[in-house]
Structure 1
Amino acid sequence: MAITAQQAIDVFRSWLGMSRKKGTHKPIVDIYNSYLPQPRGYRLTYTDDYCDGAVSAVFIKLNAVDLIGGIECGVEEHVSKFRKKGIWKEDGRIVPQPGDIIVYSWRKSTQPNNAYSDHIGMIEIVDKKNRTMTVIEGNTQGGIVGRRIVPFGWGYIRGFALPHYSKKEADSKIPEISENNELSAEDALFYDEKTEGTYETITDLWMRTGAGKEKTGIIVVPAGKKIHCDGYYNETPEQIKWLYVVYEDLKGYCSTRYLKVSD
């Protein structure tokens, strides 16, 4: 079946917030297990890591498994299938497109990275202006389907799989940050010149992929470190302001509850 990258992103995006701890991720596992035969005869359980199971489930749901060379629940095994399909690019320094599959190895932190594959997700947004990409991943911190903001050329990127999606008008609707610095419709950033400036962390503080403590953590910023905000922010329903900040070339959100204006 011919599908667009936007269709794949929309399916994955609809699962954001599903949690292994709460058991709300079970429909993803059930979709994966519905496809037969299962690789190596292994049936995914509800307590398993399911990052690759989630990526596979996206394409099962769209009846487009052939685009990724088959399903998998083991990332290194899936890389082999990507190679066989001819869609694997073992270069973490390329700039991908929305809908491409990103593979990480936590065993090496520099490029080129050809270490054993540990984790996988799908590119949702490409921010060419700030040289970052937003990735949707299953089994993030706490077993949640969440987002991660990754800089271009990050040392932990093993490589990318580049499915041959259908080129239709729908592809033009894929969110791509280039000028307005907005993440997505649901994570729309606001601008206030009063928030622009340099801040200091009051305590060790998570930088997260979105506004809210339930969002995926990117990095812990130690107490006393300086971070910069260009004036963009988001606000949770509890009216807690989260600044969109830069720290060590990484971009993400930090709560103003634990920040003070730097001298």
Structure 2
Amino acid sequence: MASDLIRVDDDGVLNLTISTGDAGTALDHALVLESREALRAVTRGKLEAGAVLLRGAGKNFCAGGNVAAFAAADDRSDYLRGLADDLHSTIEFLYETELPVVAAVKGWAAGAGMSLVLHADIAIGGRATKMRPAYPGIGLSPDGGMSWLLPRVVGAARARHIIMTDQILDADRALDLGILSEIVDDASVEQTAHDVAAGLASGPRGSYRAIRRLLHHSATSTLGDQLTAESASIAALGSTPEGVEGVDAFVAKRAPDYAAARR
């Protein structure tokens, strides 16, 4: 990986930094591309990780797209299509890895930044965390999957209201809506999010992959299809080293050692 902002740490967490202090913590296109390559490497078995941590390196998680770069483009339509396509292919690889995703949502998460928070399984915010769709403010429409995910999180009517009126959601409101999972002190957002991701990386990775897969497909499955998928999934996990270790540890009244089971 070309940048230490995109790395797997000793805890097995794939850190994907999506913004820096440059350009006002706007979404960094180069880092999006680096993130895509790292996620692609995971799906190809060339990079091992147990969880993903989405983060920003500046004061905000991500303040949205780089609007100054939009304005400077010779062909704005072509430029925006390229940015959106690159972001969307990165998100597709994020799902293909089937790794649990944690977001460290400090400061602002606006525009594409808010979209990325919605893709996290667990989003940790601080008291100063704020979210905003931001697209109507510059005469554009959502990207990054916001129009698909926000209705599924908060309901279709509420999603229309939030996006069309460009609402600013403070941390408490985002928590109530289910966008944030937990609020901690602002200074603790990064560490708490990393600790959660590290805990997931050290846990039963096959279980987490299956949970994420089942939850993702449930949106378009019938109850019958979902029950069939659940039966197949739990049966398959029951004979894996992690599944055997988890059950045996429970019976023996000891803590499971999933890392040893994977070796």
Which TM-score band applies after superposition, normalised by the shorter structure?
A: under 0.3
- Structure number with the higher strand fraction is 1
- Structure number with the higher helix fraction is 2
Q: Structure 1-normalised TM-score?
A: 0.24
